[in-house]
Chains A and B, each alone.
Chain A
């Protein structure tokens, strides 16, 4: 029963955020470039950190996000738990990332990011996507989402993984 309810809830959350992302991206002209950034271990240093609100940022990555904003719209795409949406928004606001210049989109699991990315590409947007696509940093034992990475690489977008921006996290 719990599993069924969880599935229904996840479905509703994903549907709502997909609709939200589509609505925002529909406002952009075709051909414009958008930058999509993951949060955990991409711009936020979650290594060994159990409380998401207490995490520090990677200052060079924050700078990169702000630089990219000058070139196009920036979206944060995260698979954090929905109950942290408001605190994540606050965490971003503290770093100067306010809506509607920077929009925050949540998905219930990393594989659901593919749908958001595909929708953006289908709208004719040029997507540059920054995501380490790793997990378990809080426990100090990093693992990769191999299937998601594979799916992302098959999409028509510029993917920047940990090898591309890792030097900015030193």
Chain B
């Protein structure tokens, strides 16, 4: 219930406090070369659209553009197909871009990005970045190609590679290749468990999966990078003795301090190697020893950052913070502030690197 309340209050805060409507209307210009693309599947999925984080991320993009004083065009829905010679800011989302509901949707999302680029558009995120979106087998391929350290991983076929699965030493985890957060993660403890899981995956049409060694660790760090800067980070700590995903939704505790400074440049460097302008990494270390080489569990070019726990609430479990409304810095408000900050940082990076300027199209 609190999720819907946070969404509702967050939208109100975005619409009535964060967005400068006068400036937004003034800057809207049909000749602007910068396009802000929202609600890709308009007019479908109305209820879902207003209830999901995509609307907030898209509005944060719009606010960043308005605050920067850039003339822009707002394009809603499928009209995007007619856009050419433009710069397009949008939010990648399989829920709203995957209009045919493909099970294996990354190639479709990549196709959309490539089609936009083929019309001489520059898009943010570009197709090279979209290729990483919720696409764990591609991530693994790139980690190997670019020599980026990660836990021992195999890309396997659920139909053909049962022998290979069985030859791995238990326990290990199976990851569905197109999943986000801690969804699609299965811990395999024995052969029966493996058969049960692979049958279920086959039944759901998950032909390819990732099998990954479980790293001995109790915490991982989410590091968010924009351009040359680490803009956010937080540790997710598993307080259970058993392995489980460290997602905050699963009750892990969080720590917003103690950044492993030794690896700051490494994270920026691998972002450049993968040609990403923005990236969120899940990183862990064997036995939690940050002096050793970090292992990249996953990378995502698009992300939903969590706001820092306010100092006056630093002893509160993070999931309880999400349900606090009558406090100095409530979660629903801070979540919006951090999303707008990230959108502004991204835009500032695109501007400083010369990828976006405030040109008008001469028609």
Contact = CB atoms under 8 A, between A and B. Distances in A.
Interface in B224-249: 226-229
A99 interface: yes
Given A32-B228, A99-B68, A27 B358 contact: no
Contacts of B348: 27-28, 100
Nearest to A31: B228
Interface string A25-50: 00111101000000000000000000
Contacts of A122: none
A101 B69 CA distance: 10
Nearest to A98: B358
Number of chain B interface residues as a range: 10 to 19
A94 B266 CA distance: 42
Given A29-B228, A29-B229, A99-B358, A72 B68 contact: no
Contacts, number: 31
A55 interface: no
Interface string A3-31: 00000000000000000000000011110
A70 B228 CA distance: 16
Contacts of B89: none
A67 B227 CA distance: 21
Contacts of B357: 98, 101
Contact of A100 (B68, B345, B354): B68
Contacts of A162: none
Contacts of A121: none
A93 to B, nearest CB: 10
A114 interface: no
B351 interface: yes
A102 B348 CA distance: 12
B351 A100 contact: yes
B344 interface: yes
22 contacts: A27-B344, A27-B345, A27-B348, A28-B348, A28-B352, A29-B226, A29-B228, A29-B229, A32-B228, A72-B352, A73-B352, A98-B357, A98-B358, A99-B68, A99-B69, A100-B68, A100-B70, A100-B348, A100-B351, A100-B358, A101-B351, A101-B357
Interface of B: 68-70, 226-229, 344-345, 347-348, 351-352, 354, 357-358
Q: Which 7 A-B pairs have the closest CB atoms?
A: A29-B229, A27-B348, A100-B68, A99-B69, A98-B358, A29-B228, A100-B351
